[in-house]
């Protein structure tokens, strides 16, 4: 190979180029070196059938022209993209960062690559992302459903293409798609039972968007604990909001007019933050005037004063388990259909004893 002021001479083939040219392909290398594309590919892969001199020529040209192997094309030929997709409804400052962290840590230990998509809580965008996943020939999909999603028909093309799909966190139970989540009913029931055992009988439950199955399951757990402990089930004590900022208008009037409320349960960190802000704004002391418990990722409760007693729902743990579960479903013929991650109560300083 010789270089003359912008001209490259390789094996009697003169190739004029500009260093800022478009990405060079394996076909370009083959044409320059007067070799077949298969010989180029095997030379770059150190195949034993290719002579050392040919390998040297090919690698030298590849280096000179900044040739980079097209992994997508190689995977397409092998019918293995080694790509996994993660579809999330949103990214907020609670739970989601640790969820993504856990997924990445699990996948980084493999030879898969993760593509992350946001549906912005839109069913239509979720459908469009599924089509992108099909176009990219991903081997597996992790998806937390949007608030607009009421069925799983849009996932059917994945199943038809034999692309594994695992639901996580915000799910709809289906025999066709395995899932990873916590037992939302049990988690909420345990939180409310804990308050009742501390002597609290008038408990305000604050829940997220009622379009989410996760909200309805946690409401079910609230009701189950109240009824099981022979307390009156007051529908006015069950609050649902589409977004946490709705509490700025809803919560102060409730706490001002119902002085019998002694405890608040929130189903997420996001709702906990807003509730605690309004409690402090009203001049109420935690836990002296009102107790608070939440389902939480377990990070924010340690950043407040007092620190918040919570049912720990670890995003990091869910992410790692969901990624491992997906990879298992790709590589195993017989994989389980549902994984329920355990939760535990972390007793800190936000609940008073009324007994």
pLDDT for 208-233, tens place per residue? 988 788 999 999 999 999 999 999 99
pLDDT at 163 over 70: yes
In the chain, what are the domains? 2-69 (1.10.260.40), 80-182+316-341 (3.40.50.2300), 184-314 (3.40.50.2300)
Q: How much is the pLDDT for 73? A: 53
Tell me the average pLDDT across 65-90: 72
Percent of the chain with pLDDT over 90: 65
* Confidence band for 33, pLDDT divided at 50, 70 and 90: confident
Q: Which two tokens stand for residue 21?
A: 């040219």
Please choose, from the candidates 132, 130, 123, 205, the residue with its C-alpha nearest in 3D space to the C-alpha of residue 170: 123
CA angle 247, 249, 255 (to 5 degrees): 75
Q: How much is the pLDDT for 13? A: 40
Is 89:120 a contact under the CB 8 Å cutoff? yes
Mean pLDDT lowest among 29-38, 93-102, 227-236? 29-38
Q: How much is the pLDDT for 335? A: 61
pLDDT at 49 over 90: no
CA angle 58, 64, 69 (to 5 degrees): 60
Q: How much is the pLDDT for 1? A: 43
Mean pLDDT lowest among 16-25, 27-36, 128-137, 189-198? 16-25
The mean pLDDT of the chain is 88
Q: Coil, strand, or helix at residue 123?
A: helix
Sheet strand arrangement including 203-207:
238-240, 203-207, 263-266, 291-296, 309-312, 344-346
More confident site: 31 or 167: 167
More confident site: 337 or 193: 193
More confident site: 40 or 182: 182
Q: How far apart are CA 221 and CA 199, in angstroms?
A: 18
pLDDT at 333 over 70: no
Q: How much is the pLDDT for 75? A: 52
Highest mean pLDDT among 71-75, 276-280, 335-339: 276-280
Q: How much is the pLDDT for 174? A: 87
Q: How far apart are CA 291 and CA 206, in angstroms?
A: 13
Mean pLDDT lowest among 11-25, 26-40, 131-145? 11-25
């Amino acid at each position: 190979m010789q270089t003359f002021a912008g001209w490259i001479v390789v094996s009697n083939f003169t190739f004029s180029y500009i260093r800022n040219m478009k990405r060079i392909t394996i076909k370009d290398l083959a044409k320059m070196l007067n070799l077949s594309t298969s010989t180029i590919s095997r030379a770059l892969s150190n195949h034993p059938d290719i002579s050392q001199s040919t390998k040297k020529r090919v690698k030298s040209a590849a280096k000179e022209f900044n040739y980079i192997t097209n992994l997508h094309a190689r995977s397409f030929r092998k019918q293995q993209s080694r790509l996994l997709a993660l579809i999330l409804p949103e990214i907020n400052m609670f739970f989601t960062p640790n969820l993504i962290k856990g997924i990445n840590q699990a996948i980084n230990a493999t030879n898969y690559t993760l593509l992350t998509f946001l549906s912005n809580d839109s069913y239509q965008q979720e459908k469009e992302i599924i089509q992108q996943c099909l176009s990219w020939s991903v081997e597996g999909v992790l998806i937390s459903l949007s608030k607009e999603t009421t069925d799983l028909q849009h996932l059917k093309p994945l199943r038809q293409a034999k692309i594994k799909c695992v639901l996580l966190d915000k799910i709809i139970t289906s025999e066709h798609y395995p899932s990873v989540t916590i037992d939302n009913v049990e988690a909420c029931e345990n939180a409310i039972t804990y308050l009742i055992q501390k002597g609290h009988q008038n408990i305000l439950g604050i829940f997220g968007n009622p379009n989410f199955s996760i909200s309805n399951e946690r409401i079910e757990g609230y009701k189950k604990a109240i009824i099981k402990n022979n307390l009156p089930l007051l529908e006015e004590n069950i609050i649902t909001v589409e977004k946490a900022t709705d509490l700025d208008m809803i919560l102060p009037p409730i706490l001002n007019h119902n002085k019998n409320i002694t405890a608040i349960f929130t189903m997420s960190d996001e709702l906990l933050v807003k509730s605690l802000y309004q409690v402090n704004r009203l001049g109420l002391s935690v836990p002296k005037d009102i107790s608070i418990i939440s389902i939480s990722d377990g990070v924010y409760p340690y950043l407040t004063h007092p620190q918040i007693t919570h049912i720990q729902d670890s995003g990091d743990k869910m992410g790692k388990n969901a990624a491992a579960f997906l990879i298992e479903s790709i590589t195993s013929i017989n994989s389980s259909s549902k994984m329920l991650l355990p939760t535990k109560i972390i007793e800190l300083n936000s609940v008073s004893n009324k007994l």
